[in-house]
Structure 1
Amino acid sequence: MTPVILHLLRHGAPETAGRMIGHSDIPSTAAGIESCRAQALNLDIDHIVSSDLRRAQHAATAIAGDRALPVAVDPRWRELNFGDWDGLSSQDIDAATLGAFWDDPDENPPPRGERWSALVDRVAAALADLAPKNTLVVTHGGAMRAALGVLCGFDQRRSWAFALPYSARLSFQIWPGSPQTAQIVALHS
């Protein structure tokens, strides 16, 4: 089978950086959107997908406008739901509770939040539904790390072994099939 290229692009810096903004619909700054556009400038893509949150959607729309491509919106590419922590800074959360979450987000999810395995499951479903085309997905850091688990077998701890700052792009070569097999071909931050 012929491989395709999948680019995962983290949204640009949000207006309220430094907070746990999972499902909060906070937009990116203008500079953050421009940074995403720069990351996508020379990509050979046939399809653009975006999380349904504004901080991803606005960047995807700007990139799509540069190429006259439509944007397919898929809420499965949302960030992890931080529940009661959404909108808080890490200093606003009990250190031991937050530490337990970072150590094992599946066993210690945020109060009324989402388990890591639920994020991985929805990203896996979104990946399985992608058309076999060179695709750019504008998404979030957590969803990108979940994709690393699905495509490359990284566990949650290994997926945090490198930085994915705002506007980072992680690119894979993917061989369609069941299961999908993938190789990381680039990381640009």
Structure 2
Amino acid sequence: MSDQTTVFDLIRHGEPEGGPMYRGSKDDPLSAAGWQQMRDAVAETDHWDAIVTSPMLRCVHFARELADRYGVPLHKDERLREINFGKWEGRTAEDVMASDGERLSQFWANPAANTPPGGEATRDFNNRVVESWHHWQHELAGQNVLIVCHGGVIRMIVADVMNIPLEHAFAGLMTPYACRSRIQVNTSEHGRFQSLAAHGTLRALTS
């Protein structure tokens, strides 16, 4: 096996229309502020050989703009959709806390054992995201890759990279709008090694 290094930049979408809420599978596009957040999150020195995106509107529209700008392939992957929050979708955190606070607290304390009412089990969500993550490591090996996705998706990928138990994968990492993460994957005859190289806003990462 030849030595290869693959660099992945993960970026969470910007603010969608309607503002912060448990959005999950609710397919809102980016707001004007969200578009600006995303454009501000890209530096002139960035270079990618391919872009992978969630198919949801708040991700794919910006991913397509970047792919056209850089002239690189764009791959849409259904497995990178955000977790489905069930009956909490379309509601703010404050609203859910007021009416369903105990279950919300249990979810954040241990999402693996507490599924949102009518929502997607966290283990099922994790399985599909990690399946996608490993697929693109193999498919785009040796390249610089951008993944445009969601806060929950980034949490699952970082948990896989850092061996964080699923019970702690949501509450243990902040992923604000347009947050970026960089992960380096090295493969050799000795195996595959994943490392989180950076996490935060572009301003924080470059200051």
Match of 1:145 in 2: 155
Listed as ranges, the gaps of 5+ residues in structure 1 are none
The alignment status of 1:184 with 2:196, answered yes or no, reads: yes
SS at match of 1:129: helix
Deviations 1:60-113 (A, max 9, x none): 112212212232110111111101111111233211111111111121111121
Output the amino acid matched with 1:117: R
The alignment status of 1:164 with 2:182, answered yes or no, reads: no
Match of 1:29 in 2: 31
Paired residues of 2:152 and 2:170 also in contact (CA < 8 A): no
Output the amino acid matched with 2:124: A
CA drift of 1:183 comes to 0.8
Which whole-Å CA distance do the structure 1 matches of 2:197 and 2:73 have between them? 25
Match of 1:86 in 2: 89
Output the amino acid matched with 1:52: P
SS at match of 1:3: strand
The alignment status of 1:120 with 2:126, answered yes or no, reads: yes
Match of 2:205 in 1: none
Among 87, 101, 110, the residue aligned to 2:107: 101
Deviations 1:14-54 (A, max 9, x none): 11222100011011113322322332332221010110100
SS at match of 1:136: strand
- Residue range with higher mean Cα deviation, 106-115 or 19-28: 106-115
Paired residues of 1:37 and 1:62 also in contact (CA < 8 A): no
CA drift of 1:180 comes to 4.2
Paired residues of 2:183 and 2:197 also in contact (CA < 8 A): yes
Which whole-Å CA distance do the structure 1 matches of 2:193 and 2:87 have between them? 36
Output the amino acid matched with 1:175: N
Paired residues of 2:161 and 2:196 also in contact (CA < 8 A): no
Match of 1:53 in 2: 56
SS at match of 1:107: coil
SS at match of 2:154: helix
Which whole-Å CA distance do the structure 2 matches of 1:31 and 1:65 have between them? 21
The alpha-carbon distance between structure 1 residues 78 and 92, as it changes in their structure 2 partners (threshold 3 A), is same
Percent of aligned pairs with the same amino acid? 30
The alpha-carbon distance between structure 1 residues 179 and 71, as it changes in their structure 2 partners (threshold 3 A), is same
CA drift of 1:158 comes to 5.2
SS at match of 2:4: coil
TM-score w.r.t. structure 2 length?
Answer: 0.84
Listed as ranges, the gaps of 5+ residues in structure 2 are 202-207
Output the amino acid matched with 1:128: H
TM-score w.r.t. structure 1 length?
Answer: 0.92
Match of 2:19 in 1: 17
Report the aligned-residue RMSD: 1.9
